[in-house]
Amino acid sequence: MKVLCILYDDPKGGMPKNYPLAELPKLTGYPDGQTLPTPENIDFNPGELLGCVSGELGLRKFLEENGHELVVTSDKDGDNCEANHHIKDADVVISQPFFPFYLTREKIDSAKNLKLAITAGIGSDHVDLQAAMDNNIDVFEVTYCNSRSVAEHIVMMILSLVRDYHNQHRIVNEGGWNIADAVQRSYDVEGMHIGTVAAGRIGLDALRKMKPFDVHLHYFDRHRLPESIEKELNLTFHETVESMVAVCDVVTINCPLHPETENLFDTELINKMKKGAYIVNTARGKICNREAIASALKSGQLSGYAGDVWFPQPAPNDHIWRTMPNHGMTPHTSGTSLSAQTRYAAGVREILECFMGNKEVRNEYTIVKDGKLAGTGAHSYSEGSATSGSEEAQKYKKM
């Protein structure tokens, strides 16, 4: 069996000789009772850098000792990239949302041996799910492995935007001390109305983490939460996204990308938001129209936009979101902390162990199975594809 694994580049200075923390906190499970990944074994030290090329998700020893071939590369974009060469005879492909190998219909059609696509993380929109269904390729992801990591990132971004932290930090780094410049866009989050588009694992956790700040909480989701949770959080449900964004000071986007959510935040929807509102997007870049976001920041319709996700990824160097005003962009790092890497590497190992042992993969990890959406995929996605335009990723040049 040939396994192709596409991971992001190693640190520019080489792999770390040591790490800030000697060990990770011990977690016993996820809030809803789901267990953490349970592979039979792991061949890495928790807390190490596993998501880059040299980290190899800790898989090489396991796969090679079982007689399988592992190819790991970061060369993923353009017709002549290494990943395109190896996909043609790969049985399994592993990719990450942070550095996605866009598994388009064209690539799937060229991969005659492909049986399984694994997302090392959560969110499998970089796979043409419709093409996977049509070609009977199963798709799995490590559901919940980094959801809480992303929720922490959301809280960080909300506070950083509203308090205008990035500007204040820049002033210090530049040797300045003009307090008026530092606070002219800075507010308290207390009393604001905070809403999430989708209240699944990430969205709901973000709401829980924001509640102690004494804010008003709102949500829109096609699956309404139990009444007990709404009462616990004093949470207002909205039947439409338009209803919610009209009353919120901060909107955080936490829905999957699929044909129904692609380009959801366009000029029309943004103009229905409160003037001066903030958007935090750790879901997928393609849910927001890039030109509409930049224009709204320039006009003042939006006071700030903090996104951890782009389209495509890596974003071209001239992507307008790199230079638009009042942004707090990060390079899709919310779900790949060293803590999260331990969980998603272990989850990938668990999925491979099941696949190689002809055992059922957890229903929570299942996106596409036997030619149709299944498990988490049936709950979260719709049929179709959202990979169009991904070829633009080849325009990114390493600096």
Per the annotation, binding residues for NAD(+) are 147, 201-202, 221, 256-260, 282, 308, 332-335, 380
Which candidate in 84, 96, 146, 301 is catalytic?
A: 146
284 annotated active-site: yes
Q: Please answer whether residues 138 and 117 qualify as being in contact, where contact means their C-beta atoms are separated by less than 8 angstroms.
A: yes
**Binding site per annotation, positions for substrate:** 122, 146
Nearest CA-CA partner of 125 in 348, 331, 389, 316: 389
Give the residue numbers of the binding site: 122, 146-147, 201-202, 221, 256-260, 282, 308, 332-335, 380
CA end-to-end distance (rounded Å), the chain = 36
Contact 367, 378 (CB under 8 A): no
Torsion of CA 90, 333, 8, 18, to 10 degrees: -120
> Phi and psi for 281 in degrees, rounded to 5?
-125, 100
The vertex-323 CA angle with 180 and 330, nearest 5°, equals 90
Distances (CA, A) of 232 to 18, 30, 62, 220, 223: 43, 19, 45, 17, 18
322 given a catalytic annotation: no
Q: What is the CA radius of gyration of the chain?
A: 21
Q: Which residue has the tokens 């990239």?
A: 81
* CB-CB neighbours of 324 under 10 Å: 19
| Cβ partners under 8 Å of residue 228, min gap 6 | none
Contacts of 260 (CB under 8 A, 6+ apart): 382
Catalytic residue among 284, 319, 343, 362: 284
Q: Is 146 one of the catalytic residues?
A: yes
86, 290, 332, 343: which one is catalytic?
Answer: 332
**Which residue among 96, 281, 301, 313 is the active-site one?**
313
The residues carrying an active-site annotation are 146, 284, 313, 332
